Structure 1
Amino acid sequence: MYTLVSAPVLGFDLTRMGGGPATAEVLLHALRLTAPALAIMAEHLLADDARAELWLEVETAAARMPTVSRGLDPAVTSRDDPTGDPPAPRAGESNAALLRALQLAPIGTVDALLRLVRYDILAWTWSGTGLAASQEPLASQATALLCDAAVAAYLRDVLSPRTRRRLAAPWISAQRRLPELPPIDLGPHQLAVTALLERLRTVSSTDAQRLTIASDEARAREGVAWAGAVHAASWAAHISDRIRVAASGQLLLVQALDHDVITLADRAGGVWNMLSGAVQAVVVRDLLDEATTHRLLAPVIGALGPAWLM
């Protein structure tokens, strides 16, 4: 469910979580790690017994966290309800409360996040393929430290503060000793991507209202065609070897929306999808046909103006 290719899905979850921007920060660092960092990170990993204790709470907290795939109630799974419809309200539970829960429920899971870190972001630390794939001890320990930090942020709303701090502390300490990271790579259209993100960091309430209206209109007008345009942009990122570039753009978008001006309900209702598609389109703008580019960028240009599009 979470991969670098499907970073817009990850971003959609993170932009609706209290710990989403912090998770994005950990992953943005992870995307830029180099081999010399592994030994430093490994030195800071908690002892096995301490990690085992903390991960017992992680597993308990993750089980309490509802996801779209298993319904709003952790006891209700998609296998129990083959229609995929959300569970009916329980006695005394308002429709508003259910809607709020649905807005917050992530599509992915903790396991999906860990697979993303281990096998996608840190794919370069593995040798061999299939069942024969393995990591050197230092790489394995560095990966474990990074997973601790990522899950501490991802589960911020359901973990105890003490467990969060203990999981995150080794990564914070290691960062102070890591070699300087290379700049975030946003590809050949970095100026335009950066300008759009900066525009979104400083949106006004009027801008937010326009974005919501543009999102509603685009969804009603474009429908399946819009989804096809997003797929085309994702495919262009894949064939041009810009998957990590595009993923970085999505994670930075999560951080750019770390404010209350664009509400959670609006992000969940379509604004995230519209903005995510625009970021994806700008990253591969030179590879898309005119119709696809227009479909993905026109709603945002209509709402925010064209000044950011360099």
Structure 2
Amino acid sequence: MRYSVVGAATLGFDLARLPHGAAVAGVLRAALACGPAELDRLAAAHPGPRARRHRHSALDAAMVERDALADLLPDAGRAFDEAARGQLHTLRRLENGMLGDAAGLDHLVRHEIFDWTWLRSGSMAVQDPVAADAADVLSDAAVAEYLREPAHPDLWVEMTAPLGAAGVLSVDGLDGLDVVDAPGASSVLRAIASADDEMRTAWRRVVDEVRPHTAQWAPAMHRATWAVTMSERLRLALDVQLAGVVAFHRGGFTASDGAYGAWNALAGVLQAQLVDDLLPASEADVLLRPWRLVSG
């Protein structure tokens, strides 16, 4: 599945469960903030076609190695899976199964976030060469953080180094949780990012309490996303959801939290905050309920 600007909450669901998901979010937020000056700086940091091909060949080899190891894990864990009657296996899939992939991440950067850098004439479209190089730098950094694991540490450093050299934004993704033009969402982001044990416990409890009403969440979220689209706030919504990923990680929430509803609850709150002027009260209540219950 391709990631898209419209499906920002789905991208967030994946990044909320990834160990380095906040770093990916930081790279994507940098891409969203780019203008012509930033494109020039990013393009100037491009390692060159040959070096980039070498890094991607090494990345492909690392992924083949990882997949080969992953094929062995079900056998290693079969005894535990059987003892738990499959529950452990289900947990692993919920926590680790991605809805998108690295290729989808590249497409998001190159074709959707950088949609304004394409030169079009009729059915033909070509990306501005400077923007294409800038997209390479951003995509490589995002993909490296998306796939990062303890093995081959030098490879991950090499793939993120050009973005660091460009000085556009630190790849740790922990900067700037306040989102311009989204004050309501920003207050939620700050609270989630500073969550302590008491708040995390309260958030998990509330998510469990509203779980019987999850059938209402999808249509309410669809309505909120439609409102975001119609009001031309898609890029703002993507930025807010990515900031939500950073806050989620910084606040100490886990992959299990993300898998079992804590991220979806937060994503709904953030989306509703963006279109509170357009969303019917009934849908707004569904999406904002977790936040209202936690914050009082």
- The bucket for the TM-score relative to the shorter chain is 0.7 to 0.9
State the distance in 1 between where 2:168 and 2:78 align. 52
- When residues 127 and 227 of structure 1 are mapped into structure 2, their CA distance, relative to the original with a 3 A threshold, is same
- Whether the aligned pair in 1 keeps the contact of 2:45 and 2:165 (CA below 8 Å) is yes
Query: Mind listing any 5+ residue stretches in structure 2 that lack a counterpart?
Result: 170-175
Q: In structure 2, how many angstroms separate the alpha carbons of the residues matched to 1:152 and 1:88? A: 28
- Answer yes or no: is 1:252 the counterpart of 2:215: no
**8 Å Cα contact 2:27-2:142 kept in structure 1:** yes
- Partners of 1:213 and 1:118 lie apart in 2 by 39
More deviation in 247-256 or 122-131?
122-131
Superposed CA RMSD? 2.7
For 1:286, the aligned partner's letter is: D
Gaps of 5+ in 1: 67-72, 76-86, 178-182, 306-310
Residue 2 of structure 1: aligned partner: 3
Q: What corresponds to 1:92 in structure 2?
A: 79
Separation of aligned partners in 2, 1:202 and 1:212:
15
Number of aligned residue pairs: 282
In the TM superposition, 1:1-20 aligns within 5 A as: 1-20=2-21
Hey, what's the Cα distance between the residues in 1 that align with 2:244 and 2:135?
A: 25
Identity %: 31
Aligned residue number for residue 50 of structure 2: 49
| Contact preservation (8 Å) 1:19, 1:157 | no
- Alpha-carbon spacing, 1:39–1:159, altered in 2? closer, same or farther (3 Å): farther
Q: Find the partner of 1:295 among 280, 286, 292.
A: 286
- The match for 1:84 is none
Structure 2 CA distance for partners of 1:235 and 1:185, relative to 1, 3 Å:
farther
Asked if the contact 2:194–2:250 (Cα under 8 Å) also holds between the matched residues in 1, the reply is: no
- 1:186 Cα deviation from its structure 2 partner: 4.2
Matched, 1:136 2:136: no
* Structure 2 Cα separation of the partners of residues 128 and 74 of structure 1: 44
| Partner residue of 2:113 out of 114, 121, 144 | 121
2:141 to 149, 153, 156: 149
Moved more, 126-135 or 240-249: 126-135
Shift in CA distance, 176/3, structure 1 to aligned 2, threshold 3 Å: closer
Q: Does structure 1 conserve the Cα–Cα contact (< 8 Å) formed by 2:195 and 2:251?
A: no
Instruction: Specify the alignment match of 1:226 in structure 2.
Output: 217
1:65–1:210 CA distance, 2 compared to 1 (3 A): farther
* Residue of structure 2 in register with 1:59 after alignment: 60
Q: 1:174 to 1:159 in 2, by over 3 A?
A: farther
Structure scoring higher RCO (CA < 8 A, sep ≥ 6) equals 2
Hey, which bits of structure 1, 4+ residues long, moved more than 6 A? 87-90
> Residues of 1 paired with 2:235 and 2:71: CA distance?
33
Partner of 2:195: 203
One-letter identity of the residue aligned with 1:56 = S
Partner amino acid for 1:237? V
